[in-house]
Chain A
Amino acid sequence: MSQEPLWSIFVNASLINNFVLAYFLGLCPFLGVSGKLATASRMGGAVMFVMLVSSTAAFGIHRLLLAIDAPYLELISFIAVIASTVQLVEMFVKKVSPALFRQLGIFLPLITTNCAILGLALFQTNKGYDFMQCLVYALGAGTGFTLALVLMAGLREKLELASLPDVVRGAALSLVLAGLLSISFMGFAGLGG
């Protein structure tokens, strides 16, 4: 059992070991949905919600599988829970805001294959967090993901106006931006306990 204080877990997951910029998790939506600021922040919200639910579920599943002595089922059950949570969010968003649903498009069902969410479930199990720690970890990871997404979207909106050679347009430029963001996030190292 880990004794890490809650605030340190939060700072760690959101800033120091940012899921996108330090662990490379969730890169597909990071590059795909970061074109517009408004879409980016809502996408961040959806991901954070899925993270909280799936982290809670993963905690329960891990305990259950330990009790019945079947750890090899862990990966399959995690992914099944995540897929159903995403389905739920998709139905909810479609009902509440059809406009947002169209904006997010293919990236909403693709939250299922967002490595950040499965990564969160696996990391919290590896680190042996208790229930509260898991929740805070999920919250921190979601905040970090949203932060990275929003920062990236802001940068890309500015870049729309810049004149660039054709060769660097598209993914290559986004990756250079991500690299620079990643360097600046390294400045947070040492913040946590």
Chain B
Amino acid sequence: MAGPLTEPTPGTDEFVKGLWRENPVFVQVLGMCPALAVSNTARNALAMGLATLFVLVASNTVVSSLRRFIPRQVRIATYILVIATFVTIVDYAIQAISIDLHKALGAFISLIVVNCLILGRAEAFASRNTVGVSFLDGLGMGAGFTLALLSLGAVREILGSGTLFGVPLFHDGFQGWVVMILPSGGFFSLAGWLLVFNWWRQRREALAPLAAEGAR
């Protein structure tokens, strides 16, 4: 694999790393509870991903701008309060936009508060970096999370009911795999994606010395 032609600026890298190299769900295995619970259809998965994206960006920005004023001893409690505030906003916003969606996602919107991913980013990144970079980090991680949720949701919806975003994909005779809609299907499809990622990473590591030799 040839190196990139131009060195990416630090800002773009903060954004891009969340999408692929440090993807929160597939690589870091964080925030799995919502990832599995609401990914039974692509639509729910997308909505959940966007809600998390908003909370992540907002909390990263606020935590980063307050990082000099938060005493170390109570920092976790403060982060959680900041996050809980934004989640309450999202909860009421979704209720105002679509009652159906709110019913489908249920308590899992409120449960964004305890998504380890958001607290993790606040503690590991936003509390040590400037506002602009933290904003980009939140955006990248959120986008990566949405992407992961969407790919889980798409697999489960296509196999489970033969549709994607409610549009039928197969012939009428298609029998859905009921297991994919059920909770166990969530575990299996995430396991499948993790296997793909592991395989890809191992292959790249195995090929890296060869590629370096070729470049010389």
Contact = CB atoms under 8 A, between A and B. Distances in A.
A112 B91 CA distance: 21
A172 B191 contact: yes
Nearest to A113: B114
Given A76-B84, A119-B107, A170 B198 contact: yes
A80 B113 CA distance: 11
A25 interface: yes
B107 A126 contact: yes
Given A72-B92, A176-B188, A26 B33 contact: yes
Given A75-B91, A76-B85, A113-B119, A168 B195 contact: yes
Question: Looking at A79, A110, A115, A119, which has the most chain B CB atoms within 10 Å of its CB?
Answer: A115
A117 to B, nearest CB: 8
Contacts of A113: 80, 114-116, 119
Contact of B110 (A24, A75, A176): A75
A26 to B, nearest CB: 7
Interface stretch (A50-58, A61-69, A179-187): A179-187
B6 interface: no
Interface string A73-97: 0011001100100000000000000
B186 interface: yes
B190 interface: yes
A24 B37 contact: yes
Interface residues of A, number: 42
Contacts of B169: none
Nearest to B192: A172
Contact of A175 (B85, B116, B194): B194
A180 B111 contact: no
Contacts of B84: 75-76, 79
A176 B198 CA distance: 15
Contact of B187 (A79, A110, A179): A179
Interface in B65-80: 76-77, 80
A167 B195 contact: yes
B37 to A, nearest CB: 4
A122 B81 contact: no
Question: Looking at B36, B187, B202, which has the most chain A CB atoms within 10 Å of its CB?
Answer: B187
Contacts of A76: 81, 84-85, 88
Interface in B112-140: 113-116, 119
Nearest to A21: B183
A114 interface: yes
Interface residues of B, number: 40
A171 interface: yes
A141 interface: no
Contact of B111 (A22, A119, A166): A119
B9 interface: no
A27 B33 contact: yes
B194 A171 contact: yes
A183 B179 contact: yes
A178 interface: yes
Interface of A: 21-28, 31, 72, 75-76, 79-80, 83, 109-110, 112-115, 117-119, 122-123, 126, 166-168, 170-173, 175-176, 178-180, 182-183, 186
Interface of B: 29-30, 32-34, 36-37, 76-77, 80-81, 84-85, 87-88, 91-92, 107, 110-111, 113-116, 119, 179, 182-188, 190-191, 194-195, 198-199, 202
5 contacts: A25-B33, A27-B36, A79-B114, A123-B107, A176-B188
Given A25-B37, A126-B107, A168-B195, 10 more contacts: A23-B37, A76-B85, A79-B113, A79-B114, A110-B116, A113-B114, A113-B115, A118-B111, A118-B114, A182-B187
Report the 7 A-B pairs with minimum CB-CB distance, sorted nearest first: A179-B187, A175-B191, A172-B194, A182-B184, A24-B37, A24-B36, A179-B184
